Chain A
Amino acid sequence: MSTKKILVADDEAVTLRLHHLIITRAGYETALFPDGASALDHAAEVAPDLAILDYDLPGQNGLQLTQAFRADPDLKDIPIIVVTGLREQEVAQSLRDAGANEIILKPFSPTLLAKSMEQFLALPA
């Protein structure tokens, strides 16, 4: 069975690396992107089992990226976790409406993130 792959989009290099560490320690592979546009351009090629998107991305933000994933036939079924520092209910609601499966608030718990990843990756495709 091939290793599951997680796409991560975050413009903060350190956070991107932190995600990489958390994900690889959990036994998964990563495909890391510094912005929404490149993540979207290559998502179909990467074919991830899960996407972790920062909300506050340059250009296309996490909400727009979620909407774009859900509108793409190749990407629409990929579970999406959005990480955001915004506490407003409206943000969370708009993300849910757009199809985000889970919203994790910053500062996020690496343990809880790993638990969420496992939860989604354990689901039958």
Chain B
Amino acid sequence: MKSSVIIFPGSNCDRDMDVALKKFGFKNQMIWHNDKTIPKSDLIVLPGGFSYGDYLRCGSIASKSKIIKSVIDFANSGGLVLGICNGFQILTETGLLPGILQQNMYLNFICKNVFIKIKDKKNKYFKNIKKDILELHIAHNEGNYFCSEQELKSLEDNSQIAITYCDSKGLENDDNNPNGAIKNIAGIFNKSKNILGMMPHPERMIDKYLSGEDGSLFFENLLENLR
């Protein structure tokens, strides 16, 4: 399976993502934002970081970069596009995913492990994954997901909520909501579920000695589903 990670000026999780994808068997290539085309891929990843210094709004400048048209075309033709953290912000700014990631409710940069509940497994990302609750890492200042009531209803009606913040037992409430996201949303799909945007970083949880291995589960499972 071939994957492509897009690098924007200010991306800083691109290399971690490259390491993670290769560890689990993807043939990964790194693509510069000024390129116009993406070589044949089974998966495109928009990595975390601070593209263009988070100027104007997080992800807004990246969403107009040269490479983005190819990403949008790939996504619209059914290709798998995964946006992590800043990548999620870029996906909302392109309009590929609804809503926006606002500044965290308590104005603090959050960097810690959290538990997330998988809300939908009828998709390439989470189908057959053995656990329902994963421990992953978050590191962001703007992860407070917001959308209109109408959009929220549409997300719920179409099972587009991918993952939510919860505790180790799966309880979703305000105490387990790190950033004030509406309905504890940590990640969403587009309607056809080939695009996933999520704030947590699975690429940071792929080593049992350093972190934990719930990210490994995510990548192993994704690769298996793409075969």
Are A and B physically bound partners? no
Question: Which residues of A come within 8 Å of B, CB atoms?
Answer: none
Question: Which residues of B come within 8 Å of A, CB atoms?
Answer: none
